[in-house]
Every structure is written in structure tokens, then in C-alpha cells.
Structure 1
Amino acid sequence: MLARRAAFVLFGTVVLAWGCNWPVTKILVATIPPLWITALRCWIAFAALVAILGATGRLNLPPRGDAPVILGVALLHMVGFSTLTAAGLAYLPAGKAIVLGYTTPLWVALAAPVILGERLARGSAIGVATGLAGLAVLLNPFAFDWTARDTIIGCALVLAASLCWAANILVGRAHRWIAPPLQLLPWQTALAGTVLTLAALLREGPPHVAWTGETIGLLAFSGLVGTGLAYWAMSMVTRSLPALATALGVTATPIVGIAIATAMLGEPLDGTLAVSAALVVGGIVASTVAASR
């Protein structure tokens, strides 16, 4: 375990890395197809995780009993969520895509009572309603041009991604873990990388990319920092900080992502986006606090 101050510093690094990953992916989809972006990111993360776990003596073959959660994380989160968000970013501004993508906890709160038998506390219900109000604000006809094909496709892709992530969380909650989550990550990234590479080859063929220094740097950041090292760091944080602090801290990611998208991409931060983000994040915070009680 880490000292509390070191854990908070590492946690801040993770939130910053995840927040940066959205505008970075937005830049990459202009030159690399979404399937190839996600496949390459998984293989880079796999190499990083193997190196980290190998150096610390924790690289082990996964237990057979953890196969459901390996499949769930690999296919629902690493393949489904990552590919669909990358595809959606080809149609939507990064800031709006981030808000849509981070509606995931709201879907979990709604589905958990039905699928897992968890009770939906009053505070959680209020949080979900607040978050959905934020979604309605974001998707109102004055903020989005619903006559544009790109708008419909982009929103559908990112919302589908958030549902994949929600399904992955439900699988993780229902599963009886044998190995620690970090020790399963290399095998999840390897499985996801294999599936994505085959899918990319079948759909796109070999990648035809103009490999500039910027493209290589952004892809390396996304795979090494935004995926591999961030997952490792998050596992260290969750062992060192209270669960509520970790859950609430993650809600800073969309705010950081919107700020970085505004700075990196010059996307306007209008009132609709700010109000929507505040409502969605506020709803997630309220649901998280109510669930912890």
C-alpha cells in the first residue's frame, strides 16, 4: 500500500491521463481507423503491463474460474467501449462525447436492482434523475443538430459504448474473483488486442497510416499512459484509499477531459455543455454517496 499523500498524487495522475485520453483519441481518429487505434493501444498496454508485473513478480497465468470476468472486461470494455467511443469521436466534439460516455454509472444504478438484486436507495434515485436531466440538457435540439446524420451516429455510438461499460461493471460485480484484477489485466488486453486486430484486418485491411512523430507520440501516450500504466496505478490507488474517495475522485475525469479538450482542440465550452456536465457529475456523486451508505 502507498502512503495517503502518494496515493492521492497517483490518483490525480490517473484522472489526468484518462481525461487526456479523450482528446488524444479525437486527434488520432483523423488518421487511424478506430479499430486499429484500439487494437494498437491494447497491445501497447499489454507490453507495459507484462513489464510491470514481471518486474514485481506478479505475472501469473489466470485461474480458469476468472474466465468470465476476463471475457467481460476484454470484450465489453476494452473492445466494445473503447472502439465505440473512438468511432463516436469521429462524429462528435470530444467534450460532448465525454459527457455521454460518463453516463455509465447512471445505467449501472438503474440496472443493478434488476440484474443483481441491489436496492436503489432514495439518494441513488435522485442522483440518477439528476444525471438523466443533465443528459437531456446535453441532447436538447438547441445544443445538437438532430437533422445531421453525424450527430445521430455519434451519439448512438458513444451511448452504446457507455452501455457496454455498464454491462462490464455488472459482470465484475456479479463475479467471484479469484485472482486480483491487476493480475488479469495483461490477459484481458491480450484477448482484446487479438479480437480487435482480427476485426480490423477483416474490416479495414492492413493499416495505412502516415506515421508522423505526433501520431506515434499520441498512440504511445494512449497505450502506455492512458491504458497500461493508468490501470496499474488505479489498482494501487484502490488498495490505498477508501472506496468512496476513489469512486468520487473518478467523477473528476469528465471535467478534466472537457478542460483539456477545450485547451488542446479549441472546442468551445458553452453553457449547455457546462450545465450538462455539472448535472451528470453531480448525479453520479449523489448516487455514489447514497450507495456507500
Structure 2
Amino acid sequence: MRLFAQRLRLAADSRPLLGSLVLIAAIGLLWGGNWPAVRFILMDLPPLTLRAIGFTTGAVVLLGWARIRGMPLRVSRGEWPWLAITGVFTILVFNLGTAFAQLRMPTSQAAIIAFTMPCWAVLLAWWMLGERITPRQWLGLACGQLGLAVLFGPAALAAGAAGLGGPLLVLGAALSWALGTVLIKMRGAWQSPTVVITGWQFALCAVPMVVMTMVLETPPPPDQWRPSTWLALGYHLVFSICIAQMLWFLNINRLSIGQATISTLIIPVVGVAGAIVLLGEPLSLKVIIALALILGAIAIVMLNRPAT
């Protein structure tokens, strides 16, 4: 009888862990699939238009969801500067950089470079927050740099600005995401719920995107969009911006930050696979080696973090 009770307790204890693993897998799959989806959208819609639509949808959905849940939408005066500056780095600059980069380079390679972010975050935290970098993390950083060197490579260097434009844009996006993450950590505890903070960040970032879209771009009317664009845009808005973001908030509340961000390991794998299958991009030896090196770097850096 005692053995049966122990087994019941173990089964109950395993359910939260199993649920968290399912959430991690879902986040990785949904955000990974967003990379080829965005590339399909960019075949019809220019980058500023895409981001204007996405940011506006994110603001409406997240703030609406918070309102339905009874969360206060008011943000204290002291949090607004931090909210704005972290939103610029983590949402505005990152999303613009990755969108423009995908117009200049293969989506599979852009996804790999973008998810060097955890490595850059470790370096920035060392510089800005005084966090110690362990020998294992230095190994991860070196592994990530080697992966970048494989992707940039002699061919990109020989092509000059034309070959380096896309990789540099997505590398800048990864650095921006890392800087925004470190600034969030520097801010410390936020008074407002995370979903409210992120919703207002989307709203602030949507304003310049809408204005710039109206001034600089003339997207084709919706009746001229291809069916693939409609499907990809639906995926991007529903699954990436809304559902995956909601799951991310849910998982952050269930796990430590270090455990939750393990989902970033899945995203470039799914992004590369999706680009190869859906976009017909070649699976070259260079891509395989770079993906393995950068995944190894992320694993070394992230799995070595203590729970927070």
C-alpha cells in the first residue's frame, strides 16, 4: 500500500514537469516555424508593413488578454522609460533586423545567427552586471564564434557588402535582443505583469512602424496577395505573436528563466528544417556545421546557468 502511494505521488509530481516540457516543445516549434512563415510573407509584403501588422496585433491581443484576466493595464511612471528602451531593443530592432536580413540571405542561415543571442547576453551581463563567466561558458562563447565564422566564411567576405549585409543585419538583431534582455535584468522586479509590459512594448513599437509604413512603403492590396502569404500571415499572427507569446508567459511562471529559455534550442532547428522543406533552401555542409556549433554553444551557455 505504501509503495502504491509513493507511485501516485511520483506520478503527480511528474505532471507539472511533463506539462512544462510540452510547453517548451510547443514554443520551440511555433517560433521555429515562424522563420519560413515570415519569408513567405515578405514575398508580397514589405518589411515595415509586416512589422506594423504584427506589432499592432500583438498589442491588441496581449493587452486585451490582460484586460480579460482582470490585470491592471496602468504602468507606473518609473517603469515607462525601462519599458520603452527594452521594447526598442527586444522587439523593434530585433524584428526589423531579422525581416530585412531575410531579404538578403537564406532564412536557414538567418535563423542560426539570430539564436546566438544567449551567448551575447552572457558577455553583456559580464560587462554591464558584473556576472562571472565560467570556463564552461567561455567554451560555449568560443563555440558560437566558430559557428559564426563558418556562416560568414570566405564566400561572404569575398562578396563584400552584398554578401555581408544580411548576416550583419541579423547579427545586429541578435545583439539588440541580448542587450534588451540584460537591461530587463538590470531593471530588476517589475511592478506590472509581464504580459502588460510586453503588450505596451508592442503598442509603442507599432506607432513608428505604422507611420513609416504609410510614408515609405506602398504594399500591394490584399486581393493581390498570394494564398501562401495569407496562410503564412495567419500563422505568424495567431501562432507566433499570440499563442507562442502566451505560452512563453505561462512557462516563465512555471519554471526558472534558465529552464524556460531552453526552448531557444529548438527554434533554429525548426527554422532551418522549415526553410529547407518549405522554401527549398539547400542543406549544405556549411549550414550543418554552423547549426551544430551554435546549438552546442547555446546548450553550454544555457544549461550551465543556475536556476533563477
Tell me if both proteins adopt one fold, taking TM over 0.5 as the criterion.
yes
In 2, Cα distance between equivalents of 1:59 and 1:160:
34
In 1, Cα distance between equivalents of 2:289 and 2:24:
26
Match of residue 136 from structure 1 = 149
In 1, Cα distance between equivalents of 2:128 and 2:71:
33
Please tell me whether residue 36 in structure 1 is matched to residue 56 in structure 2. Answer: no
% identity of equivalent residues? 26
Deviation at 1:114, TM superposition (A): 1.3
Deviation at 1:39, TM superposition (A): 1.0
Matched residues, number = 290
Q: Runs of 5+ in structure 2 lacking a partner?
A: 1-14
Please tell me whether residue 227 in structure 1 is matched to residue 248 in structure 2. Answer: no
In 2, Cα distance between equivalents of 1:186 and 1:252:
25
In 2, Cα distance between equivalents of 1:214 and 1:253:
22
Give the partner amino acid of 2:210.
T
Please tell me whether residue 292 in structure 1 is matched to residue 306 in structure 2. Answer: yes
Give the partner amino acid of 2:172.
A
Please tell me whether residue 146 in structure 1 is matched to residue 158 in structure 2. Answer: yes
8 Å CA contact 1:43, 1:193 repeated in 2 = yes
8 Å CA contact 1:80, 1:161 repeated in 2 = yes
- Change beyond 3 A, Cα 1:51–1:117: same
Please tell me whether residue 16 in structure 1 is matched to residue 29 in structure 2. Answer: yes
Matches within 5 A, 1:34-113: 34-113=47-126
SS of 2:304's equivalent in the other structure is: helix
In 1, Cα distance between equivalents of 2:32 and 2:280:
15
Match of residue 7 from structure 2 = none
8 Å CA contact 1:44, 1:220 repeated in 2 = no
Q: Runs of 5+ in structure 1 lacking a partner?
A: none
Please tell me whether residue 216 in structure 1 is matched to residue 230 in structure 2. Answer: yes
In 2, Cα distance between equivalents of 1:21 and 1:68:
30
Give the partner amino acid of 2:289.
V
CA deviations 1:76-114 (Å, max 9, x no partner) are 122111011100000111100011111112222222211
CA deviations 1:142-161 (Å, max 9, x no partner) are 5x473264322111211111
8 Å CA contact 1:68, 1:175 repeated in 2 = no
Give the partner amino acid of 2:104.
Y
Q: Which moved more, 1:239-248 or 1:78-87?
A: 239-248
Deviation at 1:255, TM superposition (A): 0.9
**Alignment root-mean-square deviation, CA:** 1.9
Which has more radius of gyration? 2
Give the partner amino acid of 2:97.
L
Give the partner amino acid of 1:175.
R
In 2, Cα distance between equivalents of 1:62 and 1:212:
41
- Change beyond 3 A, Cα 1:154–1:290: same
Deviation at 1:60, TM superposition (A): 1.8
TM-score normalized by structure 1? 0.92
TM-score normalized by structure 2? 0.87
Q: Which of 263, 275, 284 is the equivalent residue of 1:270?
A: 284
Deviation at 1:282, TM superposition (A): 0.8
Match of residue 126 from structure 1 = 139
8 Å CA contact 2:140, 2:301 repeated in 1 = yes
Give the partner amino acid of 1:254.
P
8 Å CA contact 1:50, 1:59 repeated in 2 = no
CA deviations 1:122-166 (Å, max 9, x no partner) are 111111011111111121125x47326432211121111111111
8 Å CA contact 1:60, 1:183 repeated in 2 = yes
Match of residue 157 from structure 1 = 169
8 Å CA contact 2:88, 2:205 repeated in 1 = yes
8 Å CA contact 2:31, 2:240 repeated in 1 = yes
